[in-house]
Each structure stands twice: as C-alpha cells, then as structure tokens.
Structure 1
Amino acid sequence: MTLLDDFALRAALAGLGVALAAAPLGCFVVWRRMAYFGDATAHAAILGVAISLAFSLPVFPAVLAVALIMALTVSALTDRGHGLDTILGVLAHSALALGLVAVSFLQGVRIDLMAYLFGDILAVTRGDLAVIWGGAAAIWALLYARWGALLTATISPDLAYASGINPKREARILTLALALVVAVAIKVVGVLLISALLLIPAATARRFAHTPEAMAGIAAGIGAISAFGGLAFSFIYDTPSGPSIVCIAAGLFCVASIFGVIRRST
C-alpha cells in the first residue's frame, strides 16, 4: 500500500507541476493564436528522444535542445516573410516523422514509443519530479520578470516599440519558455497531447477571466483539476493517464462553453 501511495503521489505532483507550468504559457498561445506553434515544438521532441537514446544522453536536455531549435527555426523563418501556417505544417509533421524513423533505426535499445507519444505519468520518478518542478519554477520566474513586456508585445507590437520593448525579443523569450514546457511535459502527457494541455485550460479560463492575470490563474486551476481528475479516472477505469487528463480538460471546456451560452441567453 505504501508503494501504491508513493507512485500515486508522484503522479499527482507531476501532473500539478506540468499544469502550473503550461497554464500561463497557454494563455499567450491563445492570445497570439500560436496553437500550431506548440504542435511543431512538441512534435520535434520525439526527435530529441531518439537523439538521447542514440547517444546515451539524458532525455530532458536532448528534448529541450531539439524543441528550442525547432522554436527558433520557426521564429527565424517567420521573420523572413514565410507563411507561418505553411512553415508550421511542414516542420511539425516532418519533425515527428523524422523522429519516428530515427527511433526505428536504434539497435539494441528497447523503447516504449507509446509512453513518449501519449505520456506515462505513472512511471514518473523522483528525478523526473525534480525536472518538472524545476522547469515549472523557471517558467514562472521568467514570466514574472517579463510579464509586462510579453503582454505589451502581445497586445500591440507598435505599442511595445513605443514603450521601448522589442517584440521580437519577447517572442524569442516565449519560444524558450514553450520549449522548456515541452521538455518537462513529455513524461506526463507525451508529445501528441502537450498542445492540448497548453490550449484547453487557457481557452476554458478565457470565458471566466476579466484580466490577463486572472486568466493565467484560472487556467492553472483548471489544469490542476484536469490532472487530478484524469488520474482519478485512470485509476478507476484503467484508462491511459495522459489522454484521460486531456479528456477531463476537454469536458471542463464543454461545460464552460454551455455555461457561457446559458449566461448569454438569460
């Protein structure tokens, strides 16, 4: 029973850490309409997994490096006038396909590909917890230091320039934070569901918040509820934990949408 409590507690703490890290960034993803940007960065993570296994490196730094390279590549190509939706479509699917092909070439390495694609929160170790909460703390510290500048650059690049803020620099700071959240979330929800955990709580919180700060806080709460609810559902019905977390988040979004329709009609 002690062992059961131990891994359940680690899973709950991991889900909470990722929810707290993803929530404020998800708000910027929603505000900037960067949904596919998150997809491209997350899909590149599987290539980082292949590199880490091929060269016997820790998974976290390899995934972080590849996700960061992908994010900076997208930003650079966008700055040169290329269509953002086309770039993201090409790079997201190419990175995922390249990563899967690279994994297939690994000889003598046993890999649970499903765990990286959809997460394996029940297998989180104490070391993983340290990485997740360390990453979450770094993201919150970064956002605390740059919140005003990031928000101004998001609202209006012209206003940012007038205020002495470089919007391109703030965009790169945001890409760094997104790459970091992808690296810490891969163990919990996997590369295919990271974008959902970024987007859905923020989109749900948008219906209730009246200020950007309130939206980030509400999104964090919704993310935490989704993590705990998804884990409970997974334990009771023996379903995959990562997809269960996203399903709970999607259910909360549906409830919020229905509530919003009812409130507007009265």
Structure 2
Amino acid sequence: MLGDFFSRALVAGIGVALVAGPLGCFIVWRRMAYFGDTMAHSALLGVAFALLLDLPVAGGVFAIAALVALLLLLLERGNRISTDALLGILSHSTLAIGLVIVALMHWVRIDLNAFLFGDILAVSVPDIALVYGGGALILALLVWQWRPLLAATVNAELAEAEGLNPGRARLLLMLLMALVIAIAMKLVGVLLITSLLIIPAATARRLALTPERMALYAAGIGGLAVVGGLNGSLAFDTPSGPSIVVAALVLFLASLIVPQRRDIRAAPTPTETGRP
C-alpha cells in the first residue's frame, strides 16, 4: 500500500487531518487563529535551529514553537502590550529571523518552498510513522484532558471553581499545537498549517450539535480535504499543499448552503475573547 508516493501522501495527509481536526476545534472556540499563525511562522526558525545544530527538523520545530508559546505567556503577564500586538511581533520576528539564518547557512542547500508550502508527495515511511506516532500521542492527551480543556474554554472562572486548572489546560493546548506543527510542517508547509487546523473545524461547527461531534466531523472533513486536494493536484498538476487547503475551502463554502445547526454545546465561547 505504501509502495508509491501517492499512497504514502494519502496515508500521511489523512493522519494529519485526524489530529488537526479535533485540535482545530479548540482554536476556533478560543479564537486562537492568530496565535496559530504565530506558532506556524516560528516553525521556520525551528528548521534553521535544527539544521544549524544538526538536530532532527521536527524536534527543532517543536522546541522553537513551544518556546514561543512560553515566551508569549511570560510577556502577557506584564500586561503592558496587548496580546494581538505581542502575537504580531513574535510571528513576523521569528519568521524573519528564520529566513535570515537560513540565508546565512551557505553550506546547506535548503528548498524554502518545501518548508513554506509543504511537499506531501515526498513523504517517506518514517515520516508516516512520525505523523501517526505523534498524532496518537496528541489524540490521547486530548481525550485525557477533554473535560478540563472544554471547561476552561467555556468559562475559565467556573472551571477554576470546579477545581480544574485553566492555566495548565491553556499551556497544554499550546504545546499540542506546537507538536502538530512539528509533524505537519513537511506535509503542508509553514504557511498552510493554520488553514488545515481552522477550516475543517469551522466547517464542522456549522454541522455539529455537540463539541464531541464537532471534533469528529472536523477530522472527517479534513480527511476529505486531503483526498480531494491530492486528487485535484494529480489531475490539474497543481501544488499539493495548497490544493488540500483549497479543497478544505470548497467544503467550507459548501457547508454554507446547509442551515447552521445552532446549539450552545457545539459552540463554546471563551470568557477572554481574542486571547489564546
């Protein structure tokens, strides 16, 4: 089954979609899209860091993305700069620093397009093992911490009154995002990861009645986007990563035709609007 490049791409892409969909629901509920962009942009700095120190690329990306998340939490405590301004500074700074470091490493040949837009057709069997191994870990943590994560998303004060720890749930969510970016970067690229997290979840939100169903629908919609995007890429000779995102967009636009099923359980609203 994994003997040809297209089959490997399908298997790897579906694996990422199964993880990105449920995690993307929390990004949509918490209005963390800009934070997701910041984490994704920092991935290129992680690539440069890994190549400079001769480390695994996925490990370097995760380390830098996690560091950016922790740095944001520390800077927010000062309350001197708004969160969106901090995200803008970190997003563009990490991307620029990564590009500068990559440009200075003359001894290494780097295909920037592959890192920026992904190259899912070049995925290998070890890459698939990384996707499914990391994905299984992420899904296990999501299932284990589903109630604290959901409670902190709906109402942080109420969750704390119930003996839960909203701060820890928020940190866990950030680290899970860093891990998803690390395992998905090679497939869809730095600039498209956030789209794969957000669009299927936004589509599922219009169709689901409960948070749990929304997570399942988001995973399924992401898988359909991968299959449709890769087949479209093969048929029309278009870039595979962007084609997957376009397929996800088509599914979202199609969902607009269906009347939205409103239920408060399917659309948690964070108490701190606009904050990750």
Is 1:70 paired with 2:57? no
Aligned sequence identity (%): 56
CA distance in 2, matches of 1:25, 1:97: 27
1:152-185 CA deviation, whole Å, 9 max, x = no partner? 0000011111110111111001011000000011
Amino acid of the residue matched to residue 110 of structure 2?
I
> 1:33 aligns to what SS in structure 2?
coil
The answer (yes or no) to whether the contact 1:16–1:227 under 8 Å persists in 2 is yes
Q: Which residue of 2 aligns with 1:213?
A: 212
Shift of 1:259: 2.6
CA distance in 1, matches of 2:149, 2:20: 16
Q: Which residue of 1 aligns with 2:51?
A: 53
Q: Which residue of 2 aligns with 1:131?
A: 130
CA distance in 2, matches of 1:37, 1:76: 15
Shift of 1:56: 1.8
Q: Which residue of 2 aligns with 1:253?
A: 252
Is 1:103 paired with 2:102? yes
Shift of 1:71: 1.4
Q: Which residue of 2 aligns with 1:177?
A: 176
> 2:40 aligns to what SS in structure 1?
helix
Shift of 1:78: 2.3
Say which structure is richer in helix.
1
Amino acid of the residue matched to residue 147 of structure 1?
W
The answer (yes or no) to whether the contact 1:21–1:135 under 8 Å persists in 2 is no
> 1:201 aligns to what SS in structure 2?
helix
1:1-266 to 2 correspondences below 5 Å: 6-81=4-79, 82-260=81-259
CA distance in 1, matches of 2:134, 2:176: 9
Question: RMSD in angstroms over aligned alpha carbons?
Answer: 1.5
Amino acid of the residue matched to residue 223 of structure 1?
G
> 2:164 aligns to what SS in structure 1?
coil
Q: Which residue of 1 aligns with 2:267?
A: none
Taking structure 2 as the reference length, what is the TM-score of the superposition?
0.91
> 1:164 aligns to what SS in structure 2?
coil
Q: Which residue of 1 aligns with 2:269?
A: none
1:55-94 CA deviation, whole Å, 9 max, x = no partner? 2211110111011111121222223323111111111011
The answer (yes or no) to whether the contact 1:121–1:242 under 8 Å persists in 2 is yes
Amino acid of the residue matched to residue 84 of structure 2?
D
1:179-213 CA deviation, whole Å, 9 max, x = no partner? 00000110111010110001000000000001000
CA distance in 1, matches of 2:243, 2:61: 24
Amino acid of the residue matched to residue 46 of structure 2?
G
Taking structure 1 as the reference length, what is the TM-score of the superposition?
0.95
Amino acid of the residue matched to residue 180 of structure 1?
L
> In 2 relative to 1, CA 260–80 (structure 1 residues): closer, same or farther, beyond 3 Å?
farther
CA distance in 2, matches of 1:120, 1:213: 31
**Could you list the runs of 5+ residues in structure 2 that have no partner in the other structure?**
263-276
**Could you list the runs of 5+ residues in structure 1 that have no partner in the other structure?**
none
Shift of 1:54: 1.6
Deviates more, 1:78-87 or 1:120-129: 78-87
Amino acid of the residue matched to residue 208 of structure 2?
A
CA distance in 2, matches of 1:259, 1:24: 21
> 2:62 aligns to what SS in structure 1?
helix
CA distance in 1, matches of 2:253, 2:236: 22
CA distance in 2, matches of 1:36, 1:115: 22
